[in-house]
Amino acid sequence: MTTVSVRIDEELVRAARVSAKAEFRTMQGQLEFWAKVGRAALDNPDLPASFIAESLISMAEPRDEATPFVPRSANNE
């Protein structure tokens, strides 16, 4: 993967550092994550941003660590 240097507002960088620490990412990783969420939100305006963020996080999890989906109706049987 190639990298590109860009200028980003200092306030946004500070916010990314705080969020990155809380979410166990690098500051650069946090900015990339926000960019992916924003792009997906623009592509899917009917979906809440929180749903998009959680979906992106789950897609990044290793498949062998995933919890199988069980519909609620299956729990009531």
Written as one string, the DSSP assignment of 14-74 is: HHHHHHHHHTT--HHHHHHHHHHHHHHHHH-TTS-HHHHHHHHHHHHS-GGGPPPP--HHH
Classify residue 29: in a domain, yes or no. Answer: yes
Domain that holds residue 50: 10-58
Q: Return the pLDDT at 50.
A: 93
pLDDT tens readout for residues 18-67:
999 999 999 999 999 999 999 999 999 999 999 999 999 888 878 887 77
**Number of domains observed in the structure of the chain:** 1
51, part of any domain: yes
